[in-house]
Amino acid sequence: MKKLIKSTRIYTERGCIDGGFVIENGKFKKIFLKPDLPHTFDGETIDYGNQRIIPGIIEMHIHGYMGWNAMSPDVKEIKKLSKSLTTCGITGFTPSNHYSSTVFDNNAAIAQTMNEKQEGARIFGIHMEGPFISKERLGSVMPSETANPDLNLMKKYYETAEGKITTVTLAPELEGIFEIIDFLVERGINVCLGHTNATYSEAITAIDRGAIITQKTGNCMKPMHHREMSVLGAALLDERVYNEINSDGAHTSIEFLKLCYRLKGKNKLCIIADNGVMSGMKKGRYNLPDRGIYEVGCDGLLHISDGTIDGSALPMIHGIRVWVEKVGIPMEEAVQMAALNPARVLKLDHKKGSIQELKDADFAVITDDYEVVATYVEGELEYNLSQKGSYENKDIYEYLIESY
């Protein structure tokens, strides 16, 4: 059925408008300013009043949400994760995995999910976070989740994923990494620099070979020094490179976000949350079967047993809020960093990432307090506020040992 969606604040690719748009066959067919809205319409009309309509959020770095694991070999769990992400305005994502005994089964499960009719947020491909990363910049990654560069291992990843890998995070300083970079670039797979102790020149060499993005910029990478600018300096100075930035206000300081914005501008920054299985769950301490003591903190962060940060407990839409209210950029630019820029990285901006005629009708309706009222994917309502809380994995709460 055709739909006419109206609001006084619609964040289109050309700016915020008061008006509406018609959805037909899953796409934005026509966008109207208020004076031009049709007086009669032979379909469903929905007026969201003064609530904001933004493009569907695209999350490029996510390991789970609401108790569902992106690294699961179970197709059913991957599908439940997809549904849960619509609660926070996400309409597309690339599930991220680490090297493990089940990683190839996980690849196969994600590929199968993509081959079937998808519901909820759409999976655009697989993000491999490792295993070819530096043991000196692990963050919360376990040493057992790393491996020395091995082209045959990379080929096995690629084959078990049925070619559906979009991005590989690696450390460019590792011996033997260049043949893997070349393998990826030849297949149109994004090379992402992360979990790396690379120098400035090592990073630039990788960028010259085709690396196009840096992972959670500022985290898990060698810091800058005035005599050795490191991979971080290369990330911020090279205009060819996009920068993922965890924008929860805790992983990186507000001043760092301001620096990134001043150096790279709105067109090269991509908001991420690096959510994990426990993101979106009740605050407290858990005793998880596979991780032991684990905390969903009051600081908005996830922590493993030794206190190391393991990602953000808050959804990506919180990052949009941080950029607008704390960094002080326009809402239009923050939305671009959460939708259109990721779509560009994933080579999907011809059909995803913005509210524009003929693109897929992916969008979210949010309040001024950044609560998601509704999420539409390809023109279909996938979530509304009355469903709040219905998509979380409540079985996780049996492991809760202390509530905050």
Binding residues for Zn(2+): 129, 195
Residues 332, 313: Cα–Cα separation, whole Å: 25
Quickly count: other Cβ atoms within 10 Å of residue 356's Cβ.
18
Residues 92, 59: Cα–Cα separation, whole Å: 7
Tokens of 333: 């630019």
Is the distance from CB of 273 to CB of 246 less than 8 angstroms?
yes
Point out the residues that are catalytic: 274
Residues 52, 28: Cα–Cα separation, whole Å: 17
Tokens 């694991």 correspond to what residue? 69
Residues 377, 351: Cα–Cα separation, whole Å: 12
- DSSP classification of residue 66: T
CA dist list (Å): 209 to 150, 202, 315, 360: 18, 11, 33, 33
Tokens of 359: 């693109």
Tokens of 237: 């100075």
Residues 199, 222: Cα–Cα separation, whole Å: 8
Residues 148, 401: Cα–Cα separation, whole Å: 38
Tokens of 377: 């994917």
Q: At 314, which helix (H) or strand (E)?
A: none
Tokens of 396: 């996780």
Is the distance from CB of 193 to CB of 235 less than 8 angstroms?
yes
Residues 132, 205: Cα–Cα separation, whole Å: 17
Binding-site positions read 129, 195
Tokens 């992400």 correspond to what residue? 85
Residues 127, 181: Cα–Cα separation, whole Å: 15
Is the distance from CB of 205 to CB of 142 less than 8 angstroms?
no
